[in-house]
Amino acid sequence: MKKLFQKLIGKIIKKSVEDVVSNPDVIPAVEPTGNGKKDFWKFVIQTLISILTAILTALGATSCVSHF
């Protein structure tokens, strides 16, 4: 089963690489939005919210576990 999976993944990757090499327009161009500061602060706030959520989830889970 492992060899079959490796063979399938290998074929998929090979086909994808061949498509990109033969037609470079397949890769979408990333254009700057011009909102550097806004994007930066959006990223910082989202990261802080994610970290706080993870901390609060861990605290909530430990408080629930301690009752058993």
User: Residue 3: which of 42, 41, 11, 40 has the closest Cα?
Assistant: 11
Please tell me what DSSP assigns to residue 35: -
Residue 20 is assigned to a structural domain of this protein: no
Domain that holds residue 44: 36-68
Residue 5 is assigned to a structural domain of this protein: no
Q: How many domains does the chain have?
A: 1
Q: What is the pLDDT of residues 4-24, one digit of tens each?
A: 888 888 888 888 777 767 776
Q: What is the Cα–Cα distance from 40 to 57, expressed in whole angstroms?
A: 26
Residue at 38: amino acid letter: K
Cβ neighbour number for residue 4 with a 10 Å cutoff:
8
* Cα Dmax for the chain: 61
| pTM value > 0.75 | no
pLDDT at 44: 93
Q: What is the pLDDT of residues 19-51, one digit of tens each?
A: 767 776 656 556 666 678 888 889 999 999 999
